[in-house]
Chain A
Amino acid sequence: MTYKEILRIMFRDYFVICTGIIICQTIFCLIITPDAVFTLAEFGYILFGGVIFTIPHFVFCSNRELDKNAWKKRRILHLAILICTILSCAHLFGWLNGFNLLEHVIMIAGIFIVYMVVWTVDWSVDNADSRKINQKLKEFNGEDGD
């Protein structure tokens, strides 16, 4: 993907990420701290975090089209960078208290689940599209008996 495409996807994913953080925090607080109260500043952190968390998208930059395997590798790298970035921001913004292992595990699991859900939904849409394309390709290639 080129820089221009990356910027367009970053803009779209900003909103996906903000929603993802809110879902993660809701699940996280329901399990760990059900009485938690969110301040205006904390919502600001989420909006700011949305910007920071789209930056790892640059791992997908390439002048040539990445093949399936290269894309998978960059996806894994992207997820790893994203988890590190989110954990760093979580410490900075006070979303995590110290080095509580359980909190870290739940947060990483939350990120992983949201990431996999988004990936699965994307893949399902593409898979349905590929089935339609293959059906039409069969018809197209059969037309001239070539």
Chain B
Amino acid sequence: MKISIEEIPADEPPEIIIRCHTIDEGIHKIINRIKTLEDMVIGYQGNQIHRVVPKDVYYFEAVDSKVFIYTKSEVYESKQKLYEFEELNNGFYLRTSKSVIMNLKKIKYVSPAFNGRFEACFDNGEKLIISRQYVSELKKRLQI
């Protein structure tokens, strides 16, 4: 199979074109592989590089200009900026404070944390605060 790469101007969105005779099982596999790779989040643990499935992420946190990815039991460092994770296109992620983006799918429940703030309890038992100024965005997302 011939692979061609064409460099394009910065203002054009990147695009993958597959030229084939028939759309068979192999082509579907390639498409699924590309889609999966596109949705992966890259995390670092020391010298190791991990691909993390976004739906397994509990929250992203920025600490001292570093961004960390928290899954059920692992913590990875990311080279991406925190705001980039807000753009993950599955709609489950929401900024809940200046330094945290949470996966709403992993929140078990919230409880009042005084002064208009809430404490989100994740299904792994971890608890994080939802800032007062982001509560309205949470309500909007949940259509309250």
Query: A and B: partners?
Result: yes
Q: Let me know if B116 is at the binding interface, CB within 8 A.
A: yes
**Which residue from B105, B112, B128, B139 sits with its C-beta under 8 Å from A123?**
B112
Select which of A9, A65, A133, A141 is within 8 A of B110 by beta carbon: A133
**Chain A interface, DSSP helix/strand/loop, else mixed:** helix
Asked if B113 is at the interface (CB within 8 A of a chain A CB), the reply is yes
Question: For B51, what are the chain A residues with a Cβ–Cβ distance below 8 Å?
Answer: none
**B114 and A137 within 8 A (CB):** no
Question: A136-B144, A140-B142, A146-B55 known; A71 and B105 CB under 8 Å?
Answer: no
Q: B105: which A residues are within 8 A, CB to CB?
A: 140-141, 144, 146
Q: Is the interface of B mostly helix, strand, loop or mixed?
A: mixed
CB distance from A101 to the nearest CB of B (A): 33
Contacts of A146 in B (CB 8 A): 55, 105
Q: How far is the CA of A71 from the CA of B115 in the complex (A)?
A: 9
Q: Determine if B55 and A134 form an interchain contact, defined as CB atoms under 8 angstroms apart.
A: no
Cβ < 8 Å to B, chain A residues 57-96: 60, 64-68, 71-72, 75
With a CB–CB cut-off of 8 A, which chain A residues contact B111? 130
- List, in ascending order, chain A residues with CB within 8 A of B104's CB: 137, 140-141
Distance in angstroms between the alpha carbons of A132 and B144 in the assembled complex: 7
B contact set with A: CB distance below 8 Å: 55, 97, 99-100, 104-105, 107, 109-119, 127-129, 131-133, 135, 138-139, 142-144
